[in-house]
Chain A
Amino acid sequence: MQKEQITGQVIDIKLSVDDALMATGFSLTFKPDYNLTEAEFKDLNSPPRTWDWLTSGLFLFGVGLLLTCFSRYLAYIYFSASKVETYEWICGVISICLAVCSCVIGYLVDNPKKEVMNQIKNHFSNVKPVKQFVSKRD
């Protein structure tokens, strides 16, 4: 391509230059790190959300209640101990239902920690190691 000199013109279109790329010299290969910002770090470092601990608390409480009922039911059958009342089962079931509700709410409301984790996961699965060719310097 011949040498072009464009000076002092008013340009209103995109110009094209077709010899703008270098022949390659040496290269460096790298995999870019995830650029963790301070805000994202704070999200990751934050305590569990209310909905998360409420879900696990209610769920475990429900399972505990149901297990107690079950063991008393077994005792009733085999050792004729006192009968399990219906309300005792209901307590456990309600607790589990509440846990499901709070789990659904927790899923629907913002979860910054999960978003950041997903971004990081995507970064590491999508960004391939890269070879950057650079020209040799004299």
Chain B
Amino acid sequence: MYTLNKLPENYIPYENLIICSNKLIGGGFAFSYGEGLPLIIGQGTFPTVWLQGAVLPGSKELITLIENNVSLVESLVVSANLEKRSIEVMFNKNIKIIEVKLINEKSAEITYLDLKPLGFNISGNSGELHIGSSNFSRNTIHGTNVFIGLG
């Protein structure tokens, strides 16, 4: 389980990470859940994704589902799109759950998010981020390394 104190070894943060129109400046993470970080996006030829899901509903223990763009479970597939310079994660072959686009070496953008298959009530597109009953759009996050704590 990756946490703020135990990050993946080859993780290099983006200086700017746009999370469904919300701009996180200075390197950081979109979400935290308990101690854990469900979604980690790092630098690479393509954006590098680490994805963790809750072991049980209500438990704060996370299990790694995607490690360094490699899926560890059969139901998730990670694919790189050369043309769009993006990484896509599909659930059960036809449900897109994450799309991260490379903007430049230091910036990336999460342009699609639907973590419902993982039990998180989170969805979003390049215009807005929905979490539970809250919506976030075009905010600038600066000075904190986690945008939203999930409860």
The chain A residues found within 8 Å of chain B, CB to CB, are 1-22, 24, 28, 30, 32-33, 35, 130-135, 137
Q: How far is the CA of A102 from the CA of B109 in the complex (A)?
A: 55
Residue in B67, B142, B147 whose beta carbon sits within 8 Å of that of A15 in the complex:
B147
> Do residues B138 and A7 form an inter-chain contact, with CB atoms below 8 A?
yes
Within 8 A of A (CB), among B67-112: 67, 70, 72-75, 95
- How many residues on the B side are at the interface (Cβ–Cβ under 8 A)? 44
The chain B residues found within 8 Å of chain A, CB to CB, are 31-32, 53-58, 63-64, 67, 70, 72-75, 95, 116-122, 131-144, 146-151
Given the interface contacts A8-B139, A14-B149, A30-B74, does A135 sit within 8 Å of B119 by beta carbon?
Answer: yes
Q: How far is the CA of A130 from the CA of B72 in the complex (A)?
A: 12
Residues of chain B within 8 A of A5, CB atoms compared:
134-135, 137
> Do residues A17 and B95 form an inter-chain contact, with CB atoms below 8 A?
no
Q: How far is the CA of A24 from the CA of B118 in the complex (A)?
A: 10
Main secondary structure of the interface of B (DSSP, over half): strand
Residues of chain B within 8 A of A32, CB atoms compared:
63-64, 72-73
Q: How far is the CA of A32 from the CA of B149 in the complex (A)?
A: 27
> Do residues B139 and A7 form an inter-chain contact, with CB atoms below 8 A?
yes
Residues of chain B within 8 A of A4, CB atoms compared:
133-135
Q: Which A residue's beta carbon lies closest to that of B146?
A: A14
Given the interface contacts A20-B120, A22-B119, A32-B72, does A133 sit within 8 Å of B151 by beta carbon?
Answer: no
Listed by A's residue number, 14 A-B pairs whose Cβ atoms lie within 8 Å are A3-B134, A3-B135, A4-B134, A6-B134, A8-B139, A10-B141, A11-B144, A14-B149, A17-B149, A17-B151, A20-B151, A21-B120, A21-B151, A32-B72
Q: How far is the CA of A134 from the CA of B95 in the complex (A)?
A: 13
Given the interface contacts A2-B133, A11-B139, A12-B141, does A20 sit within 8 Å of B122 by beta carbon?
Answer: yes
Residues of chain A within 8 A of B116, CB atoms compared:
22, 134-135, 137
Q: How far is the CA of A18 from the CA of B151 in the complex (A)?
A: 4
Q: How far is the CA of A35 from the CA of B142 in the complex (A)?
A: 36
Q: Which B residue's beta carbon lies closest to that of A2?
A: B133
Given the interface contacts A20-B120, A24-B119, A134-B117, does A10 sit within 8 Å of B147 by beta carbon?
Answer: no
